[in-house]
A and B are shown apart, each in its own frame.
Chain A
Amino acid sequence: MELGIFDVREWQTMVNLSTGRKVEYDSPMVRLVKKVMAQHPYPGDFEMMGNQWVTDLALELVRNYDPGFVFLSYSQPYFAIRFNPMAPEKWQALVDNALTEAQRFIEESGFIPIIVGSGDMIPVEGYMDVSGLDGLAVCSPWSAHYEGVFHPSERDLEYVKSLSGLQRLVYREEFIRELGGKPSDKDRVPDWVLVAREGFTFKGMQSSLRPLARIPAHNQFIPVYSKLGPIKTITDVSPLIEENLKTHKVALIMVEGIGVKDFTLPFTPVVNGFSWYTYEPGESQFLALTTGQHQFFNYPPGLQYWPDDNENKPYPFSGYFNHLDENALGFRYNGRSIAVGNRSMLMHATSGADIALECFARNLYNHGTMAAILREKEFKEVSRSLL
């Protein structure tokens, strides 16, 4: 059974992750995870201490669980700069802090790292309001570049074409053909996918209620620091790690909000997408990294999550995820694996790790922490107390 454990400060509870139902269960892994959670409350998405929290938790699990594969995400810079206008010095401090924490993990754990920046963030130049269309315009959660339109009218076509911030309108069939989809993908793809010009974003259903300061650039390349071997495109990362896990302990480390402009470690620019499509920070980029497969159709632009969001939706604590992708590295690797990050949902939903520890934040509100234990593996219990 896959377990979900929640810590809301001074109180913990446990559920069957796939059904959401309460369960009572005890094991060395559960005890370890509960203890680590109790001792490390989450500082909050905007707090710089959130990066230290990631390193502290990851090191704690490395010392006590001894994994071979680690997946980390330092996401605080992304949250901070997306919603808060900030001076260059302040931003530099956030970048330095996140990369320093990533390096602290590497130095103290001895893991061989692949460090990936999710891409540059740029100021918002303008908004395109698509709320008045006859069709239904839907923005995927947190997407800035893409908007899906369902059942558009002739009048909508005229309006959309008049938008100065629009880069292109992609019809469903084109989207599927150009990005290598199957005919069955048409059920998940909107009639139109609207692509914003760089710097522009959409206003429509599910677009951000909080005013935005910066949005992702159209990052055709993202920075990757690695000594493991050549990486040309984002989907090369996963097979390269899998190969090296046979002989090494490897850490895949995502640093969100940071692109080629700000990345201060030596890096290779790596292709971040396919054809005209570039990944934004989020589930598809994470999954492309962890599965080694492009992710255009599982969570496409304009995804309507709500038709399936009924009482029986699997993984009710995992947002719009209704399954865990079995191509993720944690599923493919037989050794012990962990994921830790201040990126809620994505750590457990995209890593496949034995243990995933993440903040439980929704819309940037700090509700505590969540752990997912996807499978039990043997490990040597360390008798000494935790930090």
Chain B
Amino acid sequence: MNVPQGNLLRKRVVTDLATPLSQALDASVTGYARLEPGDTLLLDAEGVGVITFEDGVPVVAYHSGADSGGADALADIAVAGPSRVALYELDGDALAQLHDADELRVPPGLPAERLAGDPALAERTREAAPASRAAEREREQDGLAAVEQFLDDGDRIADIRERARDQAATRAEEWGFDLPGT
């Protein structure tokens, strides 16, 4: 996925992804957020996530590490955890082509639901979405239904666990821990 370079609005380390999502919503940002894992050592393995916005409402999501789009990309971003987030402003026309890619689109409230676990922010985002996105809004699962769907994806969860184990082992070495049984 190629995103044209935008105007940097802000860049910060966040522990809760509700922060950039609500900032984009409150400022009605048209542009995109670039999300990197907080730990640059893991950057190669984890990749970078991108979420685009139209008037503050998320439109598409992509993750470079997994080469995933849409809801899958959100899960990959969620798994990468707390991040360095840069929010860019970009002309709506520059995003138009990207926004036509159906496989990358996400329902308006889904990022808040999946990345922030914040149903109130998700609801606020759905309310801000234009009428043209009513159909997507309808399809969206909220609250625990989204959590159940996540839990039904055994492969993804196995992947999260495996990556965490690798990370834990790599860091043990870095931190000078002797692992049991080694």
Are the chains A and B members of one assembly? no
Interface set of A (CB-CB < 8 Å, partner B): none
